[in-house]
Chain A
Amino acid sequence: MRLVLVGTSHHHAPVELRERVAFGKDEIHAVAERLGAAVCLSTCNRTELYVETEDVESAEKRCVEVLAELEPALYRLHDEAAALHLFRVAAGLDSLVPGEGEILGQVRAAHEAGTGGGLIDRVFRHALHAGRKVRAQTAIGESPASVSSAAAALAEQVFGDLAGCTVLLVGAGKVSDQASRNLRSRGAHIAFVADSKTDRARIEEELARADVVVSSTSASGYVLDAPTVERARRGRQLLLVDLAVPRDLDPAIHELDGCYLYDIDDLEAIVAETLAGRRSEAERAEAIVASEAEKFHEWQASLDVVPAIASLRARAEEIREEELAKAEAFLERLDDGQRRAVEAITAQIVNKLLHLPTIRLKQAAAAADGVIYADAVRHLFGLGEDDD
Chain B
Amino acid sequence: MAELLFWPALLLYGEAAVGYLGDVRRPGMAGRAATWGVRLGWLVQTALLVVQASRDDGFPWGTWAASLNLFVWFVVAAYLIWGCRRPYRLLGLAVMPLAAALLVVARVGGGTGAGTHSQYSNLFLVLHVGLVLAAFAGFTLAAALSALYLWQERRLKRRESTILRRPAPSLAVLDRLAARTVLVSVPALSLGIGVGIVRLLDRGDRVDAVVVTTLVTWAVWTSYLLVRAAGWSGRRAAYLALAGFALVVVVRLALPATHFA
Is A143 a contact partner of B157 (Cβ separation < 8 A)?
A: no
A288 to chain B, nearest CB (A): 11
Complexed CA–CA distance, A143 and B152 (Å):
17
CB distance from B230 to the nearest CB of A (A): 12
Known: A157-B156, A258-B234. A273 touches B28 (CB 8 A): no
Contact with A along B30-49 (1 / 0, CB 8 A): 00000000000000000000
Report if A270-B172 is in contact (Cβ < 8 Å); known contacts: A235-B231, A258-B234. Answer: no
Contact partner of A284 among B28, B161, B163, B165, CB < 8 A? B28
Across the interface, A158 reaches (CB within 8 A) one of B159, B161, B165, B172, namely: B172
Q: Are B28 and A150 in contact (CB under 8 A)?
A: no
- B235 CB–A CB distance under 8 Å: yes
Query: Digit string of A125-159 for contact with B (CB within 8 Å is 1, else 0)?
Result: 00000000000011100111000001001101111
Q: How far is the CB of B174 from chain A (nearest CB, A)?
A: 9
Interface size on B, residues (CB 8 A): 22
**Total A-B pairs, Cβ < 8 A:** 66
Q: Is the C-beta of A43 less than 8 angstroms from some C-beta in chain B?
A: no
Q: Which residue of chain B has the shortest Cβ distance to A275 in the bound complex? A: B165
Q: Chain B 149-165 against A: per-residue CB contact (8 Å), 1 yes, 0 no?
A: 00010001101011111
Residue of A nearest to B232 (CB): A235
With known contacts A159-B172, A160-B173, A237-B234, A272–B164 Cβ distance under 8 A:
no
B256 at the interface (CB under 8 A from A): no
Residues from chain A with a CB closer than 8 A to the CB of B157 are 254, 260
Closest to A160 in B: B170
How far is A262 from B163 in the complex, measured between Cα atoms in Å? 12
Is B162's CB under 8 angstroms from A157's CB?
no
CB A208 to nearest CB in B, in angstroms, measures 16
B163 touches A154 (CB 8 A): yes
Given the known interface contacts A157-B171, A159-B172, the answer about A274 and B231 at a Cβ–Cβ threshold of 8 Å is: no
A266–B159 contact, CB under 8 A?
Answer: yes
CB of B161 within 8 A of CB of A272, answer yes
Tell me, yes or no, whether A101 is within 8 Å of chain B by CB: no
B168 interface residue, CB < 8 Å from A? yes
Taking the nearest CB of chain A, how far is it from the CB of B90, in angstroms?
13
The answer to whether B172 touches A269 (Cβ under 8 A) is no
Residues on B with C-beta less than 8 A from A237 are 171-172, 234
Q: Which of A138, A160, A260, A266 has the most chain B CB atoms closer than 10 A to its own CB? A: A160
CA distance A274 to B168 in the complex (A): 15
* Min distance, Cβ B183 to any Cβ of chain A, angstroms: 18
Inter-subunit contact A270/B168 (CB<8 Å): no
Q: How far is the CA of A101 from the CA of B28 in the complex (A)?
A: 18
CA of A235 to CA of B230 in the docked complex: distance in angstroms? 13
Among A143, A154, A257, A258, the residue within 8 A (CB) of B165 is: A143
Q: Is A277 an interface residue (CB 8 A)?
A: yes
Residue of A nearest to B152 (CB): A157
| Of the residues A138, A144, A270, A276, contact of B28 by C-beta under 8 Å | A138
Q: Mark B3-25, 1 if CB is under 8 A from A, else 0.
A: 00000000000000000000000
Return A366 CB to nearest CB of chain B, in Å: 27
The reply to whether A257 and B235 contact each other, CB–CB distance below 8 Å, is yes
Give the residue of A143, A257, A260 whose beta carbon is less than 8 angstroms from that of B164: A143
Q: Are A274 and B164 in contact (CB under 8 A)?
A: yes
Whether A274 lies near B165 (C-beta < 8 A) is yes
Q: Is there contact, CB below 8 Å, between B163 and A270? A: yes
- Given A237-B234, A260-B157, A262-B159, the answer on whether A157 and B164 have CB atoms closer than 8 Å is yes
Cα distance A142–B28 in the bound complex, in angstroms: 12
A157 CB contact (under 8 Å) in B170, B231, B235: B170
Q: Are A273 and B172 interface neighbours, CB within 8 A?
A: no
B169 in the interface (beta carbon within 8 A): yes
A257 to B171, CA, bound (A): 13
Quick check: B234 and A157 within 8 Å, CB to CB? no
Does B196 reach chain A (CB closer than 8 Å)?
A: no
Query: Which chain B residues border A143 with CB–CB below 8 Å?
Result: 164-165, 167
Q: Which residues of B contact A153 (CB under 8 A)?
A: 164, 167
22 A-B residue pairs with Cβ-Cβ distance under 8 Å, sorted by A, are: A137-B28, A138-B28, A139-B27, A142-B167, A153-B164, A153-B167, A154-B156, A156-B170, A157-B152, A157-B163, A157-B170, A159-B172, A160-B169, A160-B171, A235-B231, A237-B172, A262-B159, A266-B161, A270-B161, A273-B161, A273-B165, A277-B165
Q: Residues on B close to A: CB < 8 A?
A: 27-29, 152, 156-157, 159, 161-165, 167-173, 231, 234-235
Contacts A237-B172, A284-B28 aside, 19 further interface pairs with beta carbons under 8 A come to A137-B29, A139-B27, A139-B28, A143-B167, A150-B164, A153-B164, A153-B167, A157-B152, A157-B156, A157-B163, A160-B169, A160-B171, A237-B234, A257-B235, A258-B235, A266-B159, A269-B159, A270-B164, A274-B165
